[in-house]
Amino acid sequence: MCASQYCKQIPAAIRTIVLLASALLFDLSSAVVADDWPQWGGPKRDCIWHESGIVRQFSTQGLLPRKWSAPVAEGYSGPAVANGLVFITDRLADAGEERILCFDAETGKQVWSYQHPARYGSLNYPAGPRATPVVFAGRVYTIGAVGHMFCFEETTGKVLWQKDFQADFGTTLPTWGMAASPLIDGDRLITLVGGSPGALIVCFDRRTGAELWRSLEDAEVGYCPPVIYEFGGRRQLIVWHPSAVSSLDPETGKLLWEIPWKIKAGLTVPMPRQLGDRLFLTAFYDGPMMLQVTADSAKILWKGDSSSEIETDGLHSIMPTPIVNSENIFGVCSYGQLRCLKTESGERVWETLDATGSGRWWNAFLIQNDDVTFLHNEQGDLIIAQLKADGYHEISRAKLVEPTRPVQRRMTIWSHPAFAMKSVFARNDKELVRVDLAEPQK
């Protein structure tokens, strides 16, 4: 008997109750389903906000109304949001300690915190931790600026295991500290360590902290988060470090291919972006490069000019990870220019300062959501815009948080926000805020 025939035999009153209950359950499930942002770059590590029903016009040009605000200390790390909790790291400079903080995502109430000594010494820009926490399967993984890595129980803050990169691996800290957020791949936790011998990148058992493999050697560790892409039907761990772009087997650490590329000042920061069989990278001093990748090799398709820091031709990004599609590349260049390049050649199509500002190391983070891009610039603005081949089209702009960190005679925010629960979670050196961005119900 088919479902429709069976339904006809049910008394009308009962059938009505069943249908109403089903509709109610559907409405409730639709209301509560919302994406988390459990790591740097979002749930898929692709810098895309996948939720729907998000505003396309802010109600104010001033400060966006907060759902809540919670006090934090200084730091550059972005928040991670998962399972109704928000995780952030900061630094208590006077005490010489770093903290890991957990807040209730609905109320902003602090759930737990953990403090540990962290001597920054001569670390440049010593305003706190850099790496976004990673939340997975009931655990939280954090890495501090001088290489303290922790695995916490998500709900209690209990330390399950920990590492000290300098003490355990002989890590030589980079100029600006450990910044790359770790990567979870099944039961593996893969992260930059910069140790010796052969421990530029190390894979741990995420449950126990036991080392599973180590790979690569470099005089500098760099700052770029590792990422796994598939090329030629093979999963490849892409590690961009100051001497080369390397591809590894994520299960064994075996080197698959490598393209030498010496990066000035070790500034490997923006995450490489995949487009089919191509891989795009950009560096502040050394400019852009596009690779073509197979299962076991790679070759350079084109490179930009790296002869000048100021008079640049392509995309020389200091921190922001660019957006790449089949036609265009969008990103923020070395002195604040929001630029569009042709994907096939790297030729510049347009540039504008309308979303940013002019100055060395100017920064803005770009997150796609359906047909628009959310830009969080270093002045604390949140912008909704469309980035197209014919130009920059701003739709709406408002203030998200106030800039609190002085850089190059300007106040800045260099912390990537999280987009989850139809909200944006952002921080400066004083507060962590949640702003509701759900489209109003009609």
Is residue 14 over pLDDT 60? no
Is residue 108 over pLDDT 60? yes
DSSP letter assigned to residue 133: P
pLDDT of amino acid 33: 45
| Residues 47-62 pLDDT 10s | 999 999 999 999 998 9
Q: What is the mean pLDDT of residues 183-192?
A: 98
Burial class (CB in 10 A: 0-12, 13-18, 19+), 234: middle
Is residue 261 over pLDDT 60? yes
Q: Give the span between the Cα atoms of 129 and 142, in whole angstroms.
A: 9
Share of the chain above pLDDT 70, in %: 92
Is residue 6 over pLDDT 70? no
Taking the CA atoms of 34, 183, 319 and 286 in sequence, report the sign of the dihedral they define: negative
Burial class (CB in 10 A: 0-12, 13-18, 19+), 358: exposed
What domains, with CATH codes, occur in the chain?
Answer: 49-72+317-442 (2.40.128.630)
Q: Give the span between the Cα atoms of 321 and 39, in whole angstroms.
A: 15
Mean per-residue pLDDT over the chain, rounded: 92
DSSP 371-391: TEEEEEETTSEEEEEEEETTE
| Residues 31-44 pLDDT 10s | 334 689 999 999 99
**pLDDT bucket at 9, cuts 50 / 70 / 90:** very low
User: Which of 17-26, 60-69, 366-375, 396-405 is the least confident region?
Assistant: 17-26
pLDDT of amino acid 253: 98
pLDDT of amino acid 310: 86
pLDDT of amino acid 12: 44
pTM comes to 0.91
Q: What is the mean pLDDT of residues 127-155?
A: 98
pLDDT of amino acid 386: 98
